[in-house]
Structure 1
Amino acid sequence: MRKTVLAACLLASAATGAVYAQTATTGATATAPGKPQLGDFGVDLSAMDKAVLPGNDFYNYINGAWMKRTEIPADRASWGGFAILADLSEKRTRQVIEDAAAAPSSNGAMSINDKIGVTYATFMDQAAIEKAGAAPLQPRLAKIAAINSQADLAKAFAEATMHGIDVPVGAGIEQDLKDNTVYAVYMSQGGLGLPDKDYYLKDDPKFAEARTKYVTYIADMMRLAGQPDPQGSAQRIYDLEKQIAQVHWDRAELRQVEKGYNPMQVAQLATAMPGFDWQGMLAAQGLGSQTRVIVGQPSALTGTAKIIVATPLPVWKEYLAFHTISNAAPLLSSPFVNTQFAFYGTTLNGTPQLKDRWKRGVALVNGSLGEAVGQVYVQKYFPPESKAKADELVRNLIAAMDIRLSKLEWMAPETKVKARAKLAAFTPKIGYPNKWRDYSTLQVVKGDVLGNADRVAEFEYRRQLNKIGKPVDRSEWFMTPQTVNAYANPLMNEVVFPAAILQPPFFDPNADPAVNYGAIGAVIGHELSHHFDDQGRKFDPKGNFSDWWTPQDVTRFNALTDKVVAQYGAYEPIPGSHVNGKLTLGENMADLAGINVAYDAYQLSLKGKKAPVIDGYTGDQRFFMGFGQVWQTKAREASIKNQLTTDPHTPGQWRAYVVRNLDPWYGAFSVKPGQTYYLAPQDRIHIW
């Protein structure tokens, strides 16, 4: 729930059901030649195309030469600043893991280092995995084959959910939106193998091609696992998923957090959403004692329940078998790995080459024992001075945001008071957790890669289950320190910046402040503003879901956000495919707020002094250059298509054009009427 609704993550996007699904903001190993030619102030001047006027195309003015000379690595759907930093983090994490593997415990007991090392070494033992073939799947498939009733099916859905397999209905544990001091059980829609309902239903040539190849993929997976009638079952599975897609809520609707809060007594479920053994599923998930649940998408779950009862049990067994196989495929022999990558990596994202095995091993360990790895990572790569400088930046951004809130013309005075109180109650989390996760009860077995993955999923599910009835742990992090990302969590009223993003090109404690404020400052401001955007504004200073704006505030705010929807909806990253202005509204507003607040914070940091000119560039120019280079991104067309359909973030290049709404940008680069991205002063969007 958190990852799809509540945490307005800066870069993270919805998964597509496979570890190879990548968005246009992720990447790793570089093939572009040489290191950046950094100016004296920390911007890669060799990336610029000075033949381009900033007002005609600011992104290519900053990054045009880089775009021309850069080839996307063969194992990536995209490449850019975020990806380069992720590549560095990946290599550093590999070293942490390999060092752990090289120092086994000497007393016979399995230490945390042993668990890290064994998890990695077991995955890297490709010969053993190839020899095992499909055999590790057979116990799982035998359990599915033994399903004989609707009650058995409900239990199978529960078990799949506990093992991280996406099925049409499932339950999870999250803070209660209206009382965030306690945990609640949420139920939500799911169960699609394609990235979004549009892939099943929209009349689009690319989606039609993906549908055809998806049916082939299903058949290939069933055949590899020795399942009967793979071609026939593939079509039946696809047809079933299409029915499920028809009742799903779309992503723009999923963003409306108030629509996803529908408390219901468990005893009412059978009447309200008939056709499925809801109590049996909850009991099998260890939630049988719960009397109340929160239903995320009532109409979708009601529709799914009807589909469940109308679909023959043998088809559901085929469906579960396929999703079990597909979920396990990255940990199986090469035919499974390559078949899955061909669809999720190449067909859906345009990536021509599978990642090296060690990179996939690092991802597996990060997903299994991420905080244990992160604890070592920050000791090695995040010095105290970096944390201190980042803390200072955050303080300055909060101060700048407070000043902006106090001056908002469209917000009622009484609402401003509450907004500033909410900001004052913020908890910024910088670098790493104060309390590390305890993995002592996680069992890791040498040579059992799929079993280890099962035990990790069970460990995490038990950890979540154990939260019920206990105080909310406000120290918990939802990203590891080695993750190049950031997020805002409205329920905790917090913003979180892992150590790995607090590095160049985003942040350098020794760099020119103008560039730091333009880069990481805009990221920090982005996350701060999520607490006041079209969804974050629905949470009060304590982090509870609450309507604390006046009706007039909402009316004036919506009039402004309509302009944001229209401005971004006009962008066409690939021919015939525009940015979905409604889906991306929250992130686009956060970009707009983030850069405005970062600019103010930079001015505050000067303490009344004039910014120096460095390499011929003024402070304002360096600020905007730092921001523009953050969004340096080159992506494959299929990946952009996927992102435009599924991701609440506008593709990177088009995020850079937010500068056209800032008055100082016009003065910094002499942007004139008639230039492509010029906006008349009255057309510039000023929300924050």
Structure 2
Amino acid sequence: MRRIVLIATTALAAPAFLASCASKDTAAPATVAEAPPPAPVAPPAPPKPRPQLGSFGFDAAGMDASIAPGNDFYGFANGTWLKNTPIPADKSNYGMFTALDDLSKDRVRGIIEGLKGDPSNKIGMAYASYLDTATVEAKGLAPIQPWLDKVRAIKTKKDYLAMVVEGGKIGVRGPVGGYVGQDDKIPENYILTMGQGGTGMPDRDMYLVDNDKMKKVRAAYVAHLANLLKLAGEKDADKRAAAIMALETKIAKVQWTREDSSDAAKTYNKFTVAQTAKLSSATLDLPAMLKATSPKITEVLINQPTAFKGIAGILDKTPMAVLKDQMLVRSLDGLSNFLPDAVANETFAFFGTMLQGTPQREERWKRGVGFVEGTLGEEVGKEYAARYFPPEYKEKMNELVKNVLDAMGRRIDGLSWMQPQTKERAKAKLKNFTVKVGYPDRWRDYSGLEIKADDLFGNAIRSNQFDYEYELGKLGGPVRRWEWGMLPQTVNAYANFGMMEVVFPAAILQPPFFDPNADPAVNYGGIGAVIGHEISHHFDDQGAKYNEKGELSDWWTPEDVKAFGEATKALVAQYDAYEPLPGEHVKGEFTLGENIGDLAGLTIAYDAYKHSLGGQTAPVIDGYSGDQRFFLGWAQVWRRNYRDANLSGRLLTDPHSPSQYRAWVVRNLDAWYDAFAPEPGQAMFLAPAQRVRIW
């Protein structure tokens, strides 16, 4: 639109000039006393584009003014929206992220359907294969049957190990898993990193916590395993399902907690291939497994060594029949989306409805879009970026990122608890950041991937194998710093410690997070705080362990570590006290990194906003000061309604706090108190000494 306006302005000016020239040909000769011809009249300036939300970028209609900001700022900013917005039947929760994800799916669908008629286009063929339910149902389990037969034919421990390796290539999870990433202590090198596995449910607590809710989950899981065995044509399904459950419960007992598994220092354990023998057993022979995976593997990082040793011992004592049954159900669960609805619906009934509370699956076209994005994501992303992310968005975002980075530098300078030598290194780290906005500068090549319009299951298997080889191909090569970990059409952002980067895909750069026509205060409170969040991740409880080169190292002084630890303990305690469901609390330690990101991100975004005003006072708009609009912008992005089952599961598995408490982080900022004047005794009020200040 901006280009069109500029061109139109030029065109409007031309006729006035031409008319003036024409009058000189026909008018009487001028005399010295004659007044000069009137100057051309400039056309009126085009109206300033309006923000998409409200009068200044905030949806004021979604507020609930009956709620005092000091009692619940989240409810004050979002209460009417929360009351009036139902959760769609195909979702476990609904908020700003999911609304934008729906928009992204609609846009991607338009891109895909424009290509569907081209028989040579892989995107169109992949989508067509997913939508062709008649073919999928007609084939039944025939596409996966050869694999299931190979699982049933396992006789020896060597056979089992070979199938674990083969399963990893096609998307079937085994007793341990792995990925190729940077070596945390040598970030210029790639290395295989391996982590604990062996359980089907998302968290060890689901096997081990003894309360009524978890007992119901376990009973439903055993029933689910039995149903899968029946669908595979197996007999004695109930008894065999119980045996799988018993195996996985033993494995859960030796697994590390999520808190320990999130600790960058504890999980950095390097082994040569030969050294992994001390964590192995005859059934889980890690040296043999690694050699079969790739001859390029000479060293490996094992995140949870004691868990690996425990899992290996458990597998050695487990009858082969039970291990085969577990692999059968893992195969059906893992590949269910590419099989008939009898299997897919069964998997969804447990993981979608039981664990998340979601009543129904997404429409097939939405799942088809997801399949295409998982298969040919960057190929679609290239077109998405071209259509929906204009250059001026990237320019404006880069300006915002620079301003927030500068603000972080000023915060480091002003810290009272950080030692001078640590400050210098922290500022050097800040200067070494790479910022990625919108989309990659270099796109992935999918020319080696075969896609067929009538072979959904085959497309999925070939895609998994293609990605598997792509990842293993990194070993021994230079680090691909051009690579992205998210697609342009993904509504999210991330920080990568080893890469020293912060990344903001195109799809999140739209209202309510970012609107180039919105009031700057709202943009700084929205996307500015998201930028600050990702920057501050590099300085949170784990990111701070990586130095200015992206290396995992001890680069802080003991005094810094002690002061930082005291501040983070206070934040852990603050979030531990939150109880979103009766008897279920936020885990302050588990969510610490994200809570630091919210607190620090909002703090530095506020500083960046105030600095952008150049010493001037922001105007009052619709009765709200600039500072009030800033904090409202922050609260607005966290609007979200949850189903109870989804919220309960997130408290176990999601390192992010529930949305209400992400908005509540404002209670630690003095500026919020000045803006909204909460009073002592109100739920969110903290005395100045109780407010957590880190960055």
Question: When the two structures are superposed, what TM-score results if normalisation uses the length of structure 1?
Answer: 0.92
Write the distance in 1 (CA, Å) between the matches of 2:467 and 2:418.
42
Q: Aligned-pair distance for 1:289? A: 4.6
1:271 aligns to what? Answer: 278
Write the distance in 2 (CA, Å) between the matches of 1:524 and 1:204.
40
1:280 correspondence with 2:288: yes
1:196 aligns to what? Answer: 203
Contact 1:157/1:170, CA 8 A, preserved across alignment: no
Q: Aligned-pair distance for 1:206? A: 1.5
Measured against aligned partners, the alpha-carbon deviations of 1:383-410 in whole angstroms (never above 9, x if no partner) come to 1111111111000000001000111111
1:119 to 122, 126, 129: 126
Measured against aligned partners, the alpha-carbon deviations of 1:537-595 in whole angstroms (never above 9, x if no partner) come to 11111111111001111111000000000000100001100000010000001000010
- Which residue identity does 2:452 align to in structure 1? V
1:429 aligns to what? Answer: 436
Of 324-333 and 161-170, the range deviating more from structure 2: 161-170
Contact 2:352/2:358, CA 8 A, preserved across alignment: yes
Find the residue that maps to 1:258 and give its secondary structure. coil
Write the distance in 1 (CA, Å) between the matches of 2:615 and 2:179.
51
1:102 to 117, 121, 135: 117
Contact 2:53/2:512, CA 8 A, preserved across alignment: no
Measured against aligned partners, the alpha-carbon deviations of 1:585-620 in whole angstroms (never above 9, x if no partner) come to 000010000100110110111111210111111000
Alignment of 1:277-426 (within 5 A): 277-285=285-293, 287-426=294-433
Q: Unaligned stretches of 5+ in structure 1?
A: 1-35, 106-113
Write the distance in 2 (CA, Å) between the matches of 1:164 and 1:179.
29
Contact 1:180/1:544, CA 8 A, preserved across alignment: yes
2:661 aligns to what? Answer: 654
1:39 to 54, 59, 63: 54
2:42 aligns to what? Answer: none
- Which residue identity does 1:99 align to in structure 2? G
1:208 correspondence with 2:215: yes
- Which residue identity does 1:530 align to in structure 2? H
Contact 1:159/1:284, CA 8 A, preserved across alignment: no
1:90 aligns to what? Answer: 105
1:60 correspondence with 2:60: no
Contact 2:357/2:645, CA 8 A, preserved across alignment: yes
1:3 aligns to what? Answer: none
Alignment of 1:540-555 (within 5 A): 540-555=547-562
Write the distance in 1 (CA, Å) between the matches of 2:611 and 2:393.
20
2:474 aligns to what? Answer: 467
1:69 correspondence with 2:61: no
2:167 aligns to what? Answer: 160
Write the distance in 2 (CA, Å) between the matches of 1:329 and 1:481.
27
Q: Aligned-pair distance for 1:68? A: 1.1
Write the distance in 2 (CA, Å) between the matches of 1:77 and 1:338.
16
Q: Aligned-pair distance for 1:652? A: 1.0
Measured against aligned partners, the alpha-carbon deviations of 1:173-197 in whole angstroms (never above 9, x if no partner) come to 2111110111112221112211100
Of 650-659 and 167-176, the range deviating more from structure 2: 167-176
2:95 aligns to what? Answer: 80
1:260 correspondence with 2:275: no
Of 95-104 and 48-57, the range deviating more from structure 2: 95-104
Contact 1:158/1:170, CA 8 A, preserved across alignment: no
Q: Aligned-pair distance for 1:204? A: 2.2
Write the distance in 1 (CA, Å) between the matches of 2:100 and 2:365.
18
Write the distance in 2 (CA, Å) between the matches of 1:434 and 1:301.
39
1:5 aligns to what? Answer: none
Write the distance in 1 (CA, Å) between the matches of 2:482 and 2:53.
38
1:30 aligns to what? Answer: none
Q: Aligned-pair distance for 1:291? A: 2.7
- Which residue identity does 1:609 align to in structure 2? Q
Find the residue that maps to 1:100 and give its secondary structure. coil
Q: Aligned-pair distance for 1:272? A: 4.0
Write the distance in 2 (CA, Å) between the matches of 1:519 and 1:102.
40
Measured against aligned partners, the alpha-carbon deviations of 1:299-330 in whole angstroms (never above 9, x if no partner) come to 00000110111111111111111100111111
Write the distance in 2 (CA, Å) between the matches of 1:203 and 1:342.
23
Write the distance in 1 (CA, Å) between the matches of 2:387 and 2:278.
56
Measured against aligned partners, the alpha-carbon deviations of 1:144-177 in whole angstroms (never above 9, x if no partner) come to 1121211111111111122222211233321111
- Which residue identity does 1:89 align to in structure 2? S
Write the distance in 2 (CA, Å) between the matches of 1:295 and 1:628.
40
- Which residue identity does 1:74 align to in structure 2? A
- Which residue identity does 1:315 align to in structure 2? V
Q: Aligned-pair distance for 1:37? A: 9.0
Q: Aligned-pair distance for 1:271? A: 3.0
1:620 correspondence with 2:635: no
Find the residue that maps to 2:487 and give its secondary structure. coil
Contact 1:579/1:650, CA 8 A, preserved across alignment: yes
2:189 aligns to what? Answer: 182
1:607 aligns to what? Answer: 614
Contact 2:224/2:346, CA 8 A, preserved across alignment: yes
Write the distance in 1 (CA, Å) between the matches of 2:178 and 2:671.
49
Contact 1:134/1:224, CA 8 A, preserved across alignment: no
Write the distance in 1 (CA, Å) between the matches of 2:602 and 2:262.
23
Write the distance in 2 (CA, Å) between the matches of 1:485 and 1:350.
23
- Which residue identity does 2:117 align to in structure 1? A
Write the distance in 2 (CA, Å) between the matches of 1:561 and 1:122.
50
Contact 1:154/1:278, CA 8 A, preserved across alignment: no
Q: Aligned-pair distance for 1:284? A: 2.4
Measured against aligned partners, the alpha-carbon deviations of 1:452-471 in whole angstroms (never above 9, x if no partner) come to 11111111111111111111
Measured against aligned partners, the alpha-carbon deviations of 1:115-169 in whole angstroms (never above 9, x if no partner) come to 1111110110011111111221201101111212111111111111222222112
Percent identity for Structure 1 against Structure 2: 52
Write the distance in 2 (CA, Å) between the matches of 1:171 and 1:489.
18
Contact 2:119/2:125, CA 8 A, preserved across alignment: no
2:48 aligns to what? Answer: none
1:438 correspondence with 2:445: yes
Q: Structure 1 residue runs of 4+, over 6 Å off?
A: none
Contact 2:338/2:456, CA 8 A, preserved across alignment: yes
Write the distance in 1 (CA, Å) between the matches of 2:441 and 2:269.
34
Write the distance in 2 (CA, Å) between the matches of 1:274 and 1:168.
13
Write the distance in 2 (CA, Å) between the matches of 1:187 and 1:59.
40
Write the distance in 2 (CA, Å) between the matches of 1:432 and 1:362.
19
Aligned residue-pair number: 644
Of 219-228 and 246-255, the range deviating more from structure 2: 219-228
Contact 2:279/2:312, CA 8 A, preserved across alignment: no
Write the distance in 1 (CA, Å) between the matches of 2:325 and 2:141.
17
Find the residue that maps to 1:181 and give its secondary structure. strand
Flag the 1:372–1:79 CA change in 2: closer, same or farther, 3 A. Answer: same
Q: Aligned-pair distance for 1:257? A: 0.8
| RMSD, aligned α-carbons | 1.2
Write the distance in 1 (CA, Å) between the matches of 2:613 and 2:81.
31
Measured against aligned partners, the alpha-carbon deviations of 1:357-383 in whole angstroms (never above 9, x if no partner) come to 000000111111100000000000001
Q: Aligned-pair distance for 1:96? A: 1.0
Structure possessing the higher radius of gyration over alpha carbons = 2
Flag the 1:133–1:494 CA change in 2: closer, same or farther, 3 A. Answer: same
Question: When the two structures are superposed, what TM-score results if normalisation uses the length of structure 2?
Answer: 0.91
Write the distance in 1 (CA, Å) between the matches of 2:178 and 2:92.
32
- Which residue identity does 2:77 align to in structure 1? I
Write the distance in 2 (CA, Å) between the matches of 1:561 and 1:652.
20
Measured against aligned partners, the alpha-carbon deviations of 1:665-685 in whole angstroms (never above 9, x if no partner) come to 011111121211111011111
Q: Aligned-pair distance for 1:513? A: 0.4
Write the distance in 2 (CA, Å) between the matches of 1:503 and 1:177.
34
Write the distance in 1 (CA, Å) between the matches of 2:179 and 2:264.
17
Alignment of 1:626-641 (within 5 A): 626-641=633-648
